[in-house]
Amino acid sequence: MRSYGNGQPVGFAEEVICLAGDWKRNKTIGVLQFDSIEAAQRWFNSDPIFRQHDWLDDAEIWIVPLVSEIKPWKYLQLSLLKITNEDEFKHQYLPNYGELVTSFGGVPFVCSTSDVEVRRGIKEIDYLIMTEWPDEESALKWSRSQHITMCEAFVTLTTNDEYACGALVWAYSLREVKTTKKLVCMVTKQVSKHMMSLIESVFDHVELVDVLDSKDETNLALLSRPDLGVTFTKLHCWRLTQYTKAVFMDADTMVLQNVDDLFERDEFSASPDPGWPDCFNSGVFVYKPSMETYKKLLQFAVEHGSFDGGDQLILFAHDTKHSFSWYFIKSSYHFGRHAPSQVTVFV
């Protein structure tokens, strides 16, 4: 990359990922680093021949101050954000994004619109996040694992091939009712390679997760549901912070008509359990991914366990004592064929 004026060549970012807006697109960008904003302005206002205007005629140009120097030839990822909730962006999205990016070796720089001088191009943005990567491998690894798109998603979980079949049917049912949301499947290593390949061909994003087992073997035996021991793994859904809101559905559910309107509900929205009407059924619920909530739920599960060994009463107990409230949605959104639940009553 050639140097222009006093600008130091930094390199090309291979992709621009736009997180929101109707103007989403991918393109190659070039980055020049100047000693000051004034130097960058002088460069932009300089003679067209000196500026090599042939490659700038159709370019969008932003003059962006960075909090630290970017070393030459690092890989950069530019994220353009138009946000609707300033407080949520600052206190939930940015901390989660920073923690995840750092775990992959990236360093994010955040600029608000007031810090950016747009000389040519899109102006309807609120923030830019420029993430610096140490090498191409780290950048590509992050890109493959996250698919960042500040969007909404239906999420499910499969811990074996049997439930993987259910997840595929579930995804098909959502496609049939023409959902506009992303489809995400969390899978554990117990799923075979063959089923994994089928899942990857159907879902927009596949997330590999570890099995969390409640270890409440006695209580599980009482309920004749030993399979509930791995349902704690469902808590991983709160780690999908690349999505602004999500609807979790068990892999043994099937969608009969479009339910995208669920995304208009607040966290935490769920239907009542038919056997325990004062408790929600965690087979279908609306939530907002958050690393903070994930850590709180996991800590609560470790400290308190669950009567039935599954995730449902953990979520309910945490709901009644801590961070989120249960918002009621009609049972018609989640009608189980096993109703009412079989419950052993102790006197």
User: Is residue 5 left, alpha or beta, with left meaning phi > 0 and alpha meaning psi from -120 to 50?
Assistant: left
Every domain of the chain with CATH number 3.90.550.10 lies at 151-333
Q: Is the per-residue pLDDT at 343 higher than 50?
A: no
CATH architecture label of 151-333? Alpha-Beta Complex (3.90)
Say what percent of the chain tops pLDDT 90: 16
Q: Say how far residue 196 (Cα) sits from the centre of its chain.
A: 20
Q: What is the pLDDT of residues 283-321, one digit of tens each?
A: 888 998 888 888 777 776 666 554 344 444 444 444 444
pTM: 0.52
Residue 273 or 231, more confident: 273
Q: Is the per-residue pLDDT at 93 higher than 70?
A: yes
Angle, alpha carbons 330-335-341 (nearest 5°): 110
**Amino acid identity at 307:** F
Q: What is the pLDDT of residues 184-214, one digit of tens each?
A: 999 998 999 999 999 999 998 898 887 766 5
The answer to whether the peptide bond before residue 268 is cis (omega within 30 degrees of 0) is yes
